[in-house]
Structure 1
Amino acid sequence: MTYGEARRIILKQGWKPNPEVTTNFRSTVVKAIFDRGYTEVSDCSGTGEAPCRYEFVNQNGDLLYVVTAGRNSLLRNWWIGKKAL
């Protein structure tokens, strides 16, 4: 599944881009993704499969982390964590 497909499902489920995400604007790849409207992007690796990490938050304050990899930004992994106090 591509990130775009996964993102549509995530947003339909009530998750929102995390407004407190720390975005690595030093990366030109991250900046390009952010400029396309994916404000939830946190960082991308410049090596290997070039994984990227995205963060969402729900109304309870839970965080959803999504990792993609490869040129087609395929969904690689995800997990839910609690927001730090």
Structure 2
Amino acid sequence: MAESDKPILGFIEWCGTHPFATGLMAIVGILGTIFSIYAFQVDREENKQSTMQSERMEGSIDNFADESTVRETEIQESLGRIEKAAPKSILDRIPNITNVAYSDAKTRLIESGWIPDKKPWRLYLNANSTVQDIWEQGLEEVDDCLQTGNGACRFLYYNPEGVNLVVVAIDQGDGLVVQRYWIEEEE
């Protein structure tokens, strides 16, 4: 054994032969265990607080999205785009959007008083990738898309009277084009 190892070996032997030193080392070990348990409990409590905070944030985001829809309706009402009294039938208030680029059709519908039925992102976490891509492009009114055939996507709108409008657009390679639309009857 090297000469430099002898002081360390001597200290270990001294601790083993003196009960006071052995007891002191045991107390230090017990204190370390207690501190570890305490630190674990503090970490768990901080984790619970972080989880609660993230849940509150998610609720705030959902509330903000709901309030945004209400504000959008109020803005359209103040601009006179939404008629309070319905002098025309509902069908007369739907512009002809068949074979029109979806972006143009959306503008026409909004100008006619229809409101995109926007959904929060969390509803699309398990949706197919086409729906997620469409939503990420800002078309939050997307309801569903087929992943086969012509890739038809279903978009939802509503008006202040509670009437729901369904618009189906297909991908024609250079963008979505409205194929058909209809009033969805409530069940």
Q: TM-score range by the shorter chain?
A: 0.7 to 0.9
Partner of 1:15: 114
Partner Cα distance (1:11, 1:37) in 2: 15
Is 2:118–2:142's contact at 8 Å kept on the other side of the alignment? no
Q: Shift of residue 81 of structure 1?
A: 2.3
Which runs of 5 or more residues in structure 2 are unaligned? 1-99
Name the % identity: 28
Partner of 1:28: 129
Indicate yes or no: 2:100 matched with 1:5. no
- The C-alpha deviation readout for 1:26-71, integer Å capped at 9, x for no partner, is 2111111111211110010011111000000100000010001123
Partner of 2:176: 73
TM-score, length-scaled by structure 1: 0.84
**Structure number having the greater strand percentage:** 1
The CA RMSD over aligned residues, in Å, is: 2.0
Partner of 2:150: 49
Partner Cα distance (2:183, 2:167) in 1: 9
Partner Cα distance (1:39, 1:46) in 2: 18
